[in-house]
Structure 1
Amino acid sequence: MDPAGQTLHGDHARVSYQIPVDARPLPMLFWHGWWADSSCWDTTPDGREGFRTLFLRRGYPVYLLDQSRRGSAGKTTTAAEIGTEPNEQWLFNQFRLGLWPNLYEGGQFSDDPAALEQFFRAMVPDTGPLDAEVVVAGASAAIDRIGPLVLVTHSHAGGFGWTAAIRNNENVRAVVSIEPGSGFVFPEDELPEAMPSSNGTLEPVPISLEEFEALTRVPIIVYYGDNIPTEPTDIAGRDNWRTRVAMAQLWVDAINRHGGDATFVSLTEQGIYGNTHFAFSDLNNHVIADRISAFLAEKNLD
C-alpha cells in the first residue's frame, strides 16, 4: 500500500463511561496499571463485580481509561515488537499472588484454578514503546474533557497519575492510588536516597518545587496490601514492594511537610489481610471499595 496521502490517528487514550441516575457530582476516573487495561475494573478473575459496578451502585459516574498504546487505545504511531517470551510465573510472584505455584496462605486471590487462568489471559502488552509523555498527554486530554473528578490509579499508573494531576490540578480533586509502583516525585533539592532491592533499584524522580506543590492542593491516599516485607529478601517479587512502600512513605511525608493532605494506608495495619497487588479485584474488593468511599466522604468529595 502506498502511504502517500494517507492519515494515521494514534497515541490517544480511550475512555468508556457510565453515568447512573441521580449521580453524585464528582465522577471517578480509573487508570489501570502495567500489563493491564481498563477491563481490569470491569470484573474479577473469578467472575465477581469489579470496581466499575461497585462504584456505579454507589452513585458515582465511572470513567475507565485505556492509556495510549495499550488495550483498546492500542493504535500507535511508533511500532514496537510485542514479546512472546513466557513470563506468567514471574508475574504471579511479582504481583504477590504467592510464590509459584502456591498462592499465599490466607490470601485474597481465589483458589479456583479457573480464576488464575483468567488472570493470566487478561495480561495486556503495549503495542508501542512505553513513553511517559505520550501516556500522560493522552490521560490529561481525557481529564480536560471530563472535568472535575477523582483520579484512581493502580500500580504503574501511580507516577503517571501524579504528573497528570500536576497538569490538570483544577480538575483532579483527589487522587486514590492503589499500590503505586514507580514515579515518586520529589522537589529536586529534597531527593531521598535511591533504594536497592533484589528486584533492582528504585529511584526518586526530581521535579521543581512549583510542580510538586500542585500535589499539596488535593487530598491523596495510597493503599498497600499484604506479604510485603520490611527487611531485605532475595525473593524479588516481594523485595520489589518493600522499597516501593518505603519510597511511598517518604513521598507522603514530603507532601505533608509542604502543607499537603496525603495519607499512607497499610491494609494489614488496619486489620485487612491477604491482599495481592490487585486489591480492587481480590475476594474482599467490596471492603476496599468501602474504604475508598469513606475517604471520599471524609474529604467531602462524595
Structure 2
Amino acid sequence: MNRLAVLNFALLSLMLVATNSLLAKDITICRQGQFPVGGTTIQREGTFNPDTFVGWAEQDQAGQSYRCDHAFARYQIPANAKNMPLVFVHGYGGDGVCWETTPDDRPGFATLLLAEGYPTYVLDLPGRGHASRTSSTVTVEPVADEMFWFDIWRMGIWPEWNEGIQFPKDSLSVSNFFRQMVPDLSNHQLDVPALDAMAKRIGKQVLVTHSAGGFPGWMAAMRNPEVKGVVAIEPGGYVFPDSEIPAPLPGLTGGLKGVGVPMEQFLELTKKPIVIYFGDYIPESNATTLGGSNWEVRLKMGREFVAAINRHGGDATLILLPEIGIKGNSHFLMQELNNDVIAKLVAEWLDMKFQK
C-alpha cells in the first residue's frame, strides 16, 4: 500500500470514528424488537380450496383471511431505563424512519433520546412503511413533487436554500431524505385507533409527534389515560372546546381551522404536560411563499391552542426555536445538523415533567 493510500485509509478511519462518536454516551440495550399493533382481519366467506390459485376475484379468495389496518412498532429498551416510554408518531409522506436516522446518517432523534435513558417505540402508521397492508383501495402514481415539498417544508425555494439552514445540503443527503418518502395507502381514519391500541399495548407513555401526526396525537391524548404527555414538533392541526374555536386563518395552502370537541374531552389535555416546538423561517404575518404561509397559520393556531389549554388550568408551552437562539431549522428539525441540541432540550423537559 503506497503512502497516499495509507493516508486516505487513515483519514477514512478517523471519519468513521468521528461518526460513531456523535453520541456523548454509550447505549446498552437490554431489549429490542418489533410488533404490529391494532388492525383488523377481513374474512372472506366460503370454504378455502388449497388447489385454487388466489386471484383478484373475491370468489378466488373464498375462506381466506386478510390482516390489515394495523400500525407497526419498533422498540428499544435501554439498560436502567427511565420509567416513561416514548412513542414516536410520524407525519405525512413518510414513516418512522424520520425518527430513526438523518439524511447524512447521524444518530436519529429516537436514538438520541434512547441515549438519555428513555425507552423508544417508533411507529409506522397504518398504510405507511411496514404497516402498508390496508383495507383501502388506492392508486399509487409517480407524482414528481420534491421541489414542492422543498418549499412546503421550509428548506428554501428550489434550488436555493434558506440562509443558515441546518439541513445537510450535500446532494447525497438530499437524495437520502427524499428516498425516505413512502406511498400513503391509508384513509387516515385509522391513525387514532392505532394510537389507542398502542396505549393499551404498552401502558403509560409520552407521545412524540411530528406534523400531520400531531392531530391524531391530540386525539389519542384525550382518549387514553395511558398517554401522560405530548411532545409535538410542528403539529399540523389542533383541537379546541366547541365553544372556543378560534376564527379560521386564511393562507396560501388553504388556511387552517381549529377542530371543536366537547369541553369534557378537551379538558383531558389540561391534565397532561404538553410542549410544542417550531423551527425557523416562519413569518409572523403576510407570508409570500407556500411553505411560509403553511406554517405561519399553524404557528398562530398553536399559540391559540396553548392559550386555551392554560386558560383551563393546563400545562402547555410553545417554543419557537429562534426565540431561544436555535436558528436555521426547517420543518424536519429532528433530522437536521443540530438535532442533538434539540433532543437535549426535549430530554430536559421530559426529565423535569416525568422524572421528579
Please, what TM-score do these two structures have when normalized by structure 2? 0.82
Distance 2:289 2:111 in 1: 36
1:40 to 98, 109, 128: 98
- Aligned residues: percent identity? 45
Give 5+ residue unaligned stretches, structure 1: none
Matched, 1:126 2:180: no
Question: Match of 1:167?
Answer: 223
Task: Summarize deviations over 1:59-114 as a string: whole Å, max 9, x none.
Answer: 11110011111111111012111231210000111011111111111011012111
Is the contact between residue 93 and residue 182 of structure 2 (CA under 8 Å) also seen in structure 1? yes
Matched, 1:90 2:148: yes
Task: Summarize deviations over 1:217-261 as a string: whole Å, max 9, x none.
Answer: 000000000000011123111111000000000000000001100
Letter paired with 1:165: A
Letter paired with 1:98: G
Q: Report SS of the residue matched to 1:9.
A: strand
Aligned residues: 298
Large movers: runs of 4+ above 4 Å: none
Is the contact between residue 84 and residue 354 of structure 2 (CA under 8 Å) also seen in structure 1? no
Letter paired with 2:169: D
Distance 2:327 2:293 in 1: 18
Question: Match of 1:102?
Answer: 160
Distance 2:286 2:63 in 1: 57
1:206 to 260, 279, 293: 260
Matched, 1:6 2:61: no
1:24 to 82, 87, 93: 82
Letter paired with 2:299: V
Deviation at 1:125, TM superposition (A): 2.0
- By relative contact order (CA 8 Å, sep 6+), the higher-ranking structure is 1
Task: Summarize deviations over 1:41-67 as a string: whole Å, max 9, x none.
Answer: 111001111012111111111100111
Question: Match of 1:79?
Answer: 137
Question: Match of 2:207?
Answer: 151
Distance 2:267 2:175 in 1: 44
Question: Match of 2:233?
Answer: 178
Letter paired with 1:284: N
Question: Match of 1:68?
Answer: 126
Q: Report SS of the residue matched to 2:250.
A: strand
Distance 2:120 2:188 in 1: 26
Letter paired with 1:45: P
Give 5+ residue unaligned stretches, structure 2: 1-54
Question: Match of 2:247?
Answer: 193
Distance 1:188 1:22 in 2: 43
Please, what TM-score do these two structures have when normalized by structure 1? 0.96
Distance 1:300 1:64 in 2: 20
Is the contact between residue 209 and residue 233 of structure 2 (CA under 8 Å) also seen in structure 1? yes
Is the contact between residue 287 and residue 296 of structure 2 (CA under 8 Å) also seen in structure 1? no
Is the contact between residue 75 and residue 121 of structure 2 (CA under 8 Å) also seen in structure 1? yes
Deviation at 1:296, TM superposition (A): 1.1
2:346 to 292, 295, 299: 292
Question: Match of 2:35?
Answer: none
Deviation at 1:201, TM superposition (A): 1.9
Question: Match of 2:7?
Answer: none
Distance 1:213 1:288 in 2: 29
Letter paired with 2:341: V
Deviation at 1:297, TM superposition (A): 1.8
Indicate the larger mover: 259-268 or 48-57. Answer: 48-57
Distance 2:142 2:242 in 1: 39
Question: Match of 1:219?
Answer: 273
